[in-house]
Structure 1
């Protein structure tokens, strides 16, 4: 997957995944769980784009005055489309996830995805992180994993 991908290494999620591995899930069961997690990450990321927030819930930097001037000249408005990072929906449409029986990779496939995620100092483009997992995101994914554990063992964890 080209574009922007953020690697998440979280001890709490790793511990839950370790418990799942001990339960000897079949490859199909693991892949199904990871596909569900990938879907959840995509939902979380789309929500963040709509809310104009980072994974931690902070708001993004406003559009630069020079960009607003360019937009006024070209489009007749300071911010065409639906807001920051969402002029025509290309970034949103490029969000994707892939999974196999051992991992899920989630990111955006547009070539400019990394610029928006990380910023670009030479062009004065502020970082506006949209990929990643905040505490609430991790809690939702942990709940998904715990539910799968409960379904598999028949006991609450």
Structure 2
């Protein structure tokens, strides 16, 4: 069965395009929210979008400070607990909490505006004289689960 329209369909075409754009704009917002959520979840799980765990923190990063030692030489209980609980890429939570989605019509981008974010995503040399190697610990990206969620959102938006 088909539909045949005779006459000037300019207004109809304009209305259909506007309807489709509105649906895609809403879908982009939903995709952005889903990707921000899954990115934050990666910080909690300490894994990249591919599911691989991030490289552990270097011993120097979690090494106790002078004030962490008892006079007898052992570590204070609080220092031990802090060292055991230390999560990768979550010292203050600033990086994790800076993840946002920016939408422009039906396009969406997820990321952060923090200057130091790229070194953690891609890895590289940092510090004075670039003497410290920071391993790549990708937190941005699209996982298989993200792909499935994006597909679900788009199908729903397009009536499928």
Q: State TM-score, norm by structure 1.
A: 0.72
Of the structure 1 ranges 36-45 and 117-126, higher mean CA displacement relative to structure 2 is found in: 117-126
Shift of the alpha carbon at 1:82?
5.3
* Cα RMSD for the two superposed structures: 2.2
C-alpha distance in 1 between matches for 2:156 and 2:21 = 18
Query: Which residue does the alignment assign to 2:97?
Result: 93
The alignment partner of 2:102 has SS state of strand
Q: State TM-score, norm by structure 2.
A: 0.71
Query: Which residue does the alignment assign to 2:72?
Result: none
Give the unaligned 5+ runs of structure 1: 1-22, 151-155
C-alpha distance in 2 between matches for 1:105 and 1:60 = 23
Of the structure 1 ranges 38-47 and 26-35, higher mean CA displacement relative to structure 2 is found in: 26-35
The alignment partner of 1:105 has SS state of strand
Of the structure 1 ranges 139-148 and 125-134, higher mean CA displacement relative to structure 2 is found in: 139-148
Query: Which residue does the alignment assign to 1:117?
Result: 121
Deviations 1:58-88 (A, max 9, x none): 100000112122xx21784464875110111
Q: How many residues align?
A: 127
Against the structure 1 CA distance between its residues 81 and 75, is the aligned structure 2 distance closer, same or farther, given a 3 Å change threshold?
Answer: farther
Shift of the alpha carbon at 1:31?
1.8
Greater Cα radius of gyration, structure 1 or 2: 2
The alignment partner of 1:124 has SS state of strand
Against the structure 1 CA distance between its residues 74 and 110, is the aligned structure 2 distance closer, same or farther, given a 3 Å change threshold?
Answer: farther
